[in-house]
């Protein structure tokens, strides 16, 4: 197979860059989903506690006593923010995957056009 044209090398480089972007988005989404699950578990545990039970929350490297309802409200707000961030990343991921498909198809078309078919390709 002959050398790739500068234009084709550029297309392949852009494709690889988009692949890396998609992988970064997947990793980011997985991290946020992990934090979301931890937040949901914390809310479940708070719900199991009897009224008036001592609750502590992490502030930096220490634990401080906190009001149960305030902590539940903070966790609910965090969950809402995480849900929104995950949805945003999913939309970005969909756009990048769509772009990847288009780029792949374009690269494949260009490569097929360059393959000898018995006659001169023009």
Read off the pLDDT of residues 10-63 as tens digits, 9 standing for 90 and up: 999 999 999 999 999 999 999 999 999 999 999 999 999 998 899 999 999 999
Helix (H) or strand (E) run with residue 65 in it: strand 62-66
* Stated pTM of the model: 0.80
The DSSP letter of residue 50 is P
Q: Which ranges of the chain does DSSP label H, i.e. alpha helix?
A: 6-48, 68-114
Domains of the chain: 6-114 (1.10.287.370)
Question: CA-based Rg of the chain, rounded to a whole angstrom?
Answer: 25
- For tokens 């988009």, name the residue: 18
């Amino acid at each position: 197979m002959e050398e790739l044209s500068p234009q084709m090398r550029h297309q392949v480089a852009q494709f690889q860059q988009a692949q890396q972007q998609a992988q970064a988005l997947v990793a980011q989404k997985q991290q946020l989903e992990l934090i979301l699950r931890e937040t949901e578990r914390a809310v479940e545990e708070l719900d199991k506690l009897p009224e008036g039970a001592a609750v502590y929350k992490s502030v930096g490297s220490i634990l401080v006593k906190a009001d149960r309802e305030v902590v539940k409200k903070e966790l609910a707000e965090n969950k809402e923010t995480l849900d929104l961030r995950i949805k945003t990343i999913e939309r970005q991921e969909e756009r990048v995957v769509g772009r990847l498909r288009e780029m792949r198809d374009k690269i494949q078309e260009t490569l097929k056009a360059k393959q000898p078919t018995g006659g001169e390709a023009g």
